């Protein structure tokens, strides 16, 4: 700032106004006690020391930025390399499938050609045999008629008398013959194409966005302190902030953690028995707590309203005393609410307006949605399977596994992988997290490092949070590098 009194030297520094001043300023605009000023030499000495500290601190920040840039570039380089590797594997799988499929196609073509030739040859033989028999009959008839005509035209009485018996017998026998040729339809051959198309579809495999098919434990969260989870059920990750929201059935509240698992706050307390939680992209939060209502809140936990689910026959859940469990938001932004008492899923707009309802054959304790808009329903014990439905609730697949599971939570990655948690506290049931394709095909176990698993959710599609029952902490897993 230019000095106001241009003929004066700036010898002072006003701490109150944070500017340099001159002697005239100290008796006019910057008088004590309203203003606190010191000699400029005294002020700058401390200021330089403070600036020096900040610069030193920034050196450390600069190093951290360089390190982050290097790590980010390494991720890009790794992405290029793994993409090339994945493409090569896909090409190899494609070449192998072509060879296998073309071999099978050639074998099928050869088999059908051989069968066609065999049938044609056999039918030709039958037609030739029938033709020869008819020709022989025709020859006999012609000879008999020629003899009879000759006898009648030129034969003497002795010739008539001597041939009468034989001619009558032969002509009578020939008249009794009923010549039957082979029908025209016998000479028809057809090829019926495969109704599924000229060739069957070939499944080469699946492209994965994740770096590995295995998860490793990164950390436990909610193990102790003010954020301790007494008994977790449902979990969701905020699509905007990546904050983790956990329905703590045991503590009767919904707890909030950041994406690294650090406890932040309670979203809403004094709930009945919080079962599940969902977060919309526009910041609204939804909770089921085993009552007849879905509770609607703002991102800061301010209560807005509540609404009931609607049964297939139009009955409201608050009139029959049923409890609401599973909760998720589909690809269209609509809310799917599971009623495990009455076995149905009720679809609503985010303001609570009812859209449709479908009866389910398993208890909709947990509900998830895939990147393609399909719906995954898990029933919890004693059921050992899960179901996949389309967006209009038509059943597409039943997920069955090669080993007994107790399907609980379900979440889906952007690359089409369905993850289902299994609660392992039942006889013969294996706890852990298992993966499937969107068609319900079993891929494998991604981790067994969790036994009382309930809900699960992906964090930015490369990490996973799983909550547990019985007071065990939630767990954050990472893909193996």
Beta partners for 324?
A: 339
Token pair, residue 274, equals 């919080």
Q: Rounded CA gap, 407 and 363, in Å?
A: 11
Class level of CATH domain 215-479: mainly beta
Q: Rounded CA gap, 331 and 315, in Å?
A: 26
DSSP state of 4: S
Sequence spans of domains, the chain: 215-479
Token pair, residue 124, equals 């030709």
Beta partners for 286?
A: 278, 296
Q: Three-state DSSP class for 186? A: helix
- In degrees and rounded to multiples of 5, residue 266 shows phi and psi of -100, 125
Q: Rounded CA gap, 432 and 402, in Å?
A: 14
DSSP state of 185: G
Query: In 3D, which of 299, 301, 294 has the Cα closest to residue 272?
Result: 294
| pLDDT attached to residue 217 | 93
CA 281 from centroid of its chain's CA atoms: 19
Q: Rounded CA gap, 377 and 384, in Å?
A: 12
Which residues does 405 contact at the CB level (< 8 Å), separation at least 6?
Answer: 384, 420, 422, 429, 430, 434
Q: Rounded CA gap, 429 and 453, in Å?
A: 12
Q: Three-state DSSP class for 480? A: coil
| pLDDT attached to residue 385 | 77
Q: How far apart are the first and last CA of the chain?
A: 55
Q: Three-state DSSP class for 148? A: helix
Half-sphere exposure of 3 (CA within 13 A, CB side): 16
Q: Rounded CA gap, 442 and 397, in Å?
A: 12
Averages of pLDDT over each 10 residues, the chain, 481 residues: 73 90 87 90 86 86 87 89 90 90 86 84 88 90 91 88 90 83 73 59 58 80 94 93 94 94 92 95 93 92 93 92 92 92 93 93 88 83 78 82 81 84 78 87 88 91 88 89 56
Say which residue the tokens 């008796």 belong to: 27
Which residues does 215 contact at the CB level (< 8 Å), separation at least 6?
Answer: 433, 446, 447, 449, 464, 477, 478, 479, 480
Beta strands in 379-441 (DSSP E): 386-389, 395-399, 407-412, 418-422, 432-436
Query: In 3D, which of 256, 265, 323, 317 has the Cα closest to residue 289?
Result: 323
| Peptide bond between residue 382 and the one before it cis (omega within 30 degrees of 0) | yes
Nearest-Å Rg of the Cα atoms of the chain is 43
Q: Rounded CA gap, 338 and 330, in Å?
A: 13
This prediction's pTM: 0.63
11 neighbors 40 (Cβ within 8 angstroms): yes
Cα angle: 324, vertex 328, 329; to 5 degrees = 130
Query: In 3D, which of 431, 441, 442, 433 has the Cα closest to residue 478?
Result: 433
Token pair, residue 198, equals 């000229």
| pLDDT attached to residue 112 | 82
Q: Which H/E stretch holds residue 354?
A: strand 354-359
């Amino acid at each position: 700032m230019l000095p106001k009194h241009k003929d004066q030297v700036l010898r002072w520094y006003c701490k109150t106004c944070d500017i340099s001043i001159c002697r005239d300023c100290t008796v006019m605009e910057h008088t004590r006690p309203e203003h606190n000023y010191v000699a400029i030499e005294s002020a700058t000495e401390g200021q330089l020391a403070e600036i020096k500290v900040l610069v030193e601190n920034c050196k450390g920040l600069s190093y951290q930025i360089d390190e982050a840039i290097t790590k980010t570039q390494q991720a890009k380089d790794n992405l290029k390399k793994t993409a090339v590797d994945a493409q090569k594997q896909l090409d190899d799988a494609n070449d192998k499938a072509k060879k296998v499929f073309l071999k099978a196609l050639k074998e099928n073509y050869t088999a059908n050609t051989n069968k066609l030739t065999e049938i044609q040859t056999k039918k030709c033989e039958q037609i030739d045999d029938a033709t020869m028999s008819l020709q022989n009959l025709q020859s006999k008839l012609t000879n008999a008629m020629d003899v009879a005509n000759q006898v009648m035209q030129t034969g003497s009485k002795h010739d008539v008398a001597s041939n009468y018996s034989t001619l009558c017998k032969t002509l009578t026998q020939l008249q009794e013959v009923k010549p039957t040729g082979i029908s025209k339809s016998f000479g028809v051959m057809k090829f019926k194409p495969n109704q599924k198309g000229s060739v069957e579809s070939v499944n080469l495999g699946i492209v994965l966005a994740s770096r590995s098919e295995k998860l490793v434990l990164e950390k436990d969260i909610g193990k102790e302190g003010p954020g301790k989870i007494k008994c977790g059920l449902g979990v969701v990750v905020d699509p905007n902030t990546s904050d983790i929201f956990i329905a703590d059935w045991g503590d009767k509240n919904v707890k909030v953690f950041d994406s690294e698992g650090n406890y932040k706050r309670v979203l809403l307390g004094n709930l009945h028995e919080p079962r599940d939680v969902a977060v919309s992209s526009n910041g609204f939060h939804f909770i089921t707590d085993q009552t007849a209502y879905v509770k609607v809140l703002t991102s800061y936990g301010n209560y807005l309203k509540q609404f009931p689910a609607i049964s297939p026959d139009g009955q409201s859940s608050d009139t029959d005393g049923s409890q609401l469990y599973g909760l998720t938001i589909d690809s269209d932004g609509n809310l799917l609410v599971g009623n495990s008492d009455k076995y149905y899923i009720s679809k609503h707009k985010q303001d609570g307006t009812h859209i449709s309802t479908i009866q389910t054959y398993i208890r909709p304790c947990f509900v998830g949605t895939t990147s393609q808009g399909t719906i995954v329903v898990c029933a919890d014990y004693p059921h050992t399977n899960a179901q996949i439905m389309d967006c209009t609730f038509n059943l597409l697949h039943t997920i069955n596994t090669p080993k007994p599971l107790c399907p609980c939570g379900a979440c889906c990655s952007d690359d089409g992988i369905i993850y289902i948690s299994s609660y392992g506290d039942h006889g013969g049931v294996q706890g852990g997290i298992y993966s499937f394709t969107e068609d319900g095909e079993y891929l494998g176990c991604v981790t067994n490092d969790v036994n009382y698993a309930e809900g699960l959710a992906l964090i930015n599609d490369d990490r996973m949070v799983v909550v547990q029952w019985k007071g065990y902490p939630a767990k954050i897993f990472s893909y193996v590098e």
